[in-house]
Structure 1
């Protein structure tokens, strides 16, 4: 067996490995729960500036995009491609280099996620129709457009402004509703602007499917990360642990932001909290499994390499669909707020997204 198939031995520093398990658990919990708590706990909802929450949401969206391309698809292409075949010093059959299997698996998962969500939309809309409720539609304008002049602004009643909202309104009058809102439409407040998300307009079933597929793909990835970290050689463990701590925190922000805006009905408020917990324990579970394996396990053997490559490529397809459709297209391209709002609001969202993608992509240099 070549060195590439010999695997890594989880030798020494057992205490640090066990400690790393709990460090990653806490970090993942903090990253994932922050958006959920800020959105759903009234005490913090009134005190956390809307700009902080908006940054976390779009930063996390950028993280999900970078995770799909750099942390999943690229490693999958190496594991199922020419770099891992036996003739190149790897441990999988040379026939795996005859076709771009990683891209094919990724495309299949992306298409499956698309079909699954379309079916969910149809089922959710049909159920609402049977209940006699109007089918939710993409709002023509999620938030008030920038008025042409300050003369067209009607001051928002003072009792609807809390905390630092009054100062923010004075700096950004575009957050105040137009003088003549449509009949029957409740004028949105600054606080609603800060804690509103376009995905909340979707049927609950479609929201649940979208969150479920996202978390399913990320959990696959997290288990692999934990397993790999647990059997990494002692000389490489410390720097890799630091990188993965940041990796899990950033990724947790992306998952938590989606969970925070899940429009749960009475009796289902527990779903975002359980979703946060599931994500947070995936990497520690992978580490625990790795620590429980025998010393010198061939973790890089043929079966493990193929399994890891297939799982990574499938997860990449799920995350890329979520990032490109649910986050980029749904939040920006088809959200008319970003067609009419001020350049400051638009730039803030784009820069937050780019920072998340950039930092997560940079982490891919080491993990």
Structure 2
């Protein structure tokens, strides 16, 4: 756990260090499009409303899956949970494709940037591709390190230990019981490790994306834009939180770790808004340096989110035994994916 956390922490620190360049005082490239909507006094209460409402909806979204243990139909081994998880994965996929990636394209193709090199090479696609490959490397290496470290004995949840004891009954004899029990420990332990790596990497990508969203909203004084963004971001954060919450639930973390991960997800966007408010006099969203930095961060975040949604969430479930064993459940899950992706895509009109 320590090695995996160290790898993720180093990556996060590098991204954070890079993003500090956004806060530099630089010459503004262009003015806001609608000067009639620029009103700092009207924007301030809207930003405060945004902080409170996004905090509440984010907490609701990420905590809903964590409370499903008390609801039999929504437990991780039930079909309904698989359908809800597919819905949330569709939301995360659409976030990467329809929100983060287009924003990066817009920023890095802005007329405020020099023609060479920014208009001569598709940096957004290139950085998103590198980000997806880097996410694959972290995903693979973290799983390997974590698996080797825990090879001597994986601590399984109570349900898994009960299954192990059931397999190791005297009917198979002492030797065979331990043999099959060991296989079960390996299988259950490996899957649990995968869930934990997925939850950590996904949270990292969402946090980077959320800080950028909050920073841009907090620095803006366009009251007309903020009004629409508040409602759209509330839904965005709630559904994105549901996807993350489902991954945290499957990771079988302790109560303290679940609480910490939910807390950091919920406060990241409000923190970004507050940070943007404090730096609104120095942060210029149309300046070349801001466009480049935020554009590259969005591109890297989109690559991570798209990879996680397609590979670790959708492909892992749809190619798994549960969905492969039921065509009916597959159809329902595909419908849930399309519903989640479609709903989040529609929100791109406002956010």
Q: Normalising to structure 2: TM-score of the pair?
A: 0.75
User: Is residue 28–residue 248 contact of structure 1 (8 Å, CA) maintained in 2?
Assistant: yes
Alignment-derived partner of residue 334 in structure 2: 350
Correspondence for 1:253: 242
Q: Distance in 2 between matches of 1:281 and 1:213?
A: 18
C-alpha separation between the residues in 1 aligned to 2:145 and 2:283? 46
Please tell me whether residue 337 in structure 1 is matched to residue 322 in structure 2: yes
1:48 shift after superposition = 5.5
Note the C-alpha offset of 1:305. 0.8
**Structure 1 residue runs without a partner (length 5+):** 136-182, 187-198
Counterparts of 1:25 and 1:184 in 2: how far apart (Å)? Answer: 45
Equivalent of residue 3 in structure 1, options 16, 26, 30: 30
Residue 270 of structure 1 and its aligned partner are, at CA, apart by 1.9
| Superposed displacement of residue 27, structure 1 | 0.5
Q: What is residue 11 of structure 2 aligned with on the other side? A: none
Which structure carries more helix by proportion? Answer: 2
CA 1:93–1:209: 2 relative to 1, 3 Å: farther
Match of 1:64 among 87, 92, 95: 92
**Aligned mates of 2:346, 2:272 — CA distance in 1:** 24
- The CA distance in 1 between the partners of 2:299 and 2:88, in whole Å, is 21
In the other structure, the counterpart of 1:45 is 71
State the 1:22 CA deviation: 0.5
Contact 1:5 1:298 in 2 (8 A): no
What's the counterpart of residue 177 of structure 1? none
C-alpha displacement of 1:293: 2.2
Structure 1 pair 289/6, CA: closer, same or farther in 2 (3 Å)? farther
Q: Does 1:240 align with 2:265?
A: no
Equivalent residue, structure 2, for 1:146 = none
Partner of 1:113: 135
> Is it true that 1:12 corresponds to 2:41 in the alignment?
yes
TM-score (norm 1): 0.72
Question: Match for residue 122 of structure 1?
Answer: 144
Deviation at 1:298? 1.6
Q: Which residue of 2 is the match for residue 214 of structure 1?
A: 202
Tell me the CA shift for residue 332 of structure 1. 0.3
Cα separation, 1, equivalents of 2:59 and 2:112: 37
The answer for the alignment partner of 1:75 in structure 2 is 103
Do the aligned partners of residues 103 and 185 (structure 1) sit closer, same or farther apart at CA in structure 2, a change above 3 Å counting? farther
1:310 CA displacement: 0.9
CA contact (8 A) 2:31 2:286 kept: yes
Q: Is the 8 A contact 2:107 2:291 kept in 1?
A: yes
**SS, match of residue 3 in structure 1:** coil
Check conservation: 2:127, 2:300, Cα contact below 8 A. Answer: yes
Across the two proteins, how many residue pairs are aligned to each other?
Answer: 292
What secondary structure sits across from 1:23 in the alignment?
helix
Alpha carbons 1:65, 1:323 under 8 Å: kept? yes
Q: Which runs of 5+ in 2 are unaligned?
A: 1-27, 157-165, 170-186
- Cα distance in 2 between the residues matched to 1:34 and 1:246: 14
Cα RMSD (Å) of the superposition?
2.9
Aligned to 2:291: 305
